[in-house]
Amino acid sequence: MKQAERIKVGEIQLNVLDSGPRDGLPLLFLHGFPDFHYGWRKQLAAFEERRYRVIAPDQRGYNLSDKPKGIAAYQLDTLGRDLLALLDALGLKQVVVIGHDWGGATAWWLAHHHPERVKGLVMLNMPHPDVFAQYLRKHRSQLLKSWYMLFFQLPGLPEFLLSRGKWMHFAQSIQSGARRGAFTQQDMEKYVKAWSEPGAFKGMLNWYRAALRKPPKPFPKTAVKPPTLMVWGAQDRFLEAGLAQPSIERCQQGRLILLPRAGHWVHHDEVEQVNGLIQDFLQMLEGKLSLDAIQLNTKAAADKQKPKPPKPKLSPEEDIEISDQELGEWKTQ
């Protein structure tokens, strides 16, 4: 597999992995927070081997991509236009888009505003933005799970707290939200390196800050046109499963698959299942399978049902615990 390289995309440069045969069906993988293109490694390798062209950028503000200053530079419409410019830079008229978390938000944007560029849409644990906004207003339980979004609005404090101890507590919170072994120590070292890039963590947090302070233009009321597969890990600690069905109902052609034992990091927790579902979806796009025929591999799922020892989980209080001395250090910065 090729190494990622920087590509001029509009007024900025993005670090982009682009590998596989040039004539293969292009698959655009969009990571979320606090990921980067490396988070798709088990999908990229599998689908390149199957002769697809795999493309995975570090999105604006992340890892080795440019990190423009100012919250306004991370408004969703701007992030979506990055994707359009990337497709143009690569000479691609149409792609299959696979998005997770915040990468799903930019994927929803592209599918809504430029459906002609999206052959198909695969959504991993990311609700439709309008559904999420409405759900928050009606479900206090989801509002409590989204407390960190308000914490991220504080200037400078999240960057200071989460980077303490070489990102130890933050890294542990990521691991505790996934199945045991989904992230190795070597994986976490790569993540820590990406988070430590100058300006990266501020850029990453600016996605959240812009979402509240610079909200995007309203999404079209029309249904999402490209065929859509939504795969949802039901044990997500951050997003309730009740968000999934209303989101897929926003699509003209939609299929929802729930993975009962997977969490937010569904493509890490259930690699074979997720890759298999994506492959079935691609076969559907090629006319070899109907959308309704896409289903969970029940035998593989049954093999995962053996009980496992519980993972230690960090509470919000543990995540942001800070001493008076450290608070003084932050105030003097």
Please list the active-site residues.
Answer: 101, 208, 264
Structural tokens at position 251: 């699509």
Question: What single DSSP character describes residue 252?
Answer: S
- How far apart CA 154 and CA 158 sit, in angstroms, is 7
- How far apart CA 123 and CA 6 sit, in angstroms, is 26
Q: Return the beta strands (E) in the chain as ranges.
A: 5-9, 12-19, 26-30, 53-57, 95-100, 118-124, 228-233, 254-259
Cα angle value 140/205/240 (rounded, 5°): 30
Kindly list the distances between the CA atom of residue 169 and the CA atoms of 48, 156, 316, 320, 321, in Å, as whole numbers in the listed order. Answer: 34, 17, 11, 9, 10
- How far apart CA 301 and CA 313 sit, in angstroms, is 24
Displacement of CA 133 from its chain's centroid (Å): 18
Instruction: Please give the torsion angle defined by the CA atoms of residues 199, 201, 207 and 213, in that order, rounded to the nearest 10 degrees.
Output: -80
What is the distance in angstroms between the CA of the first residue and the CA of the last residue of the chain? 42
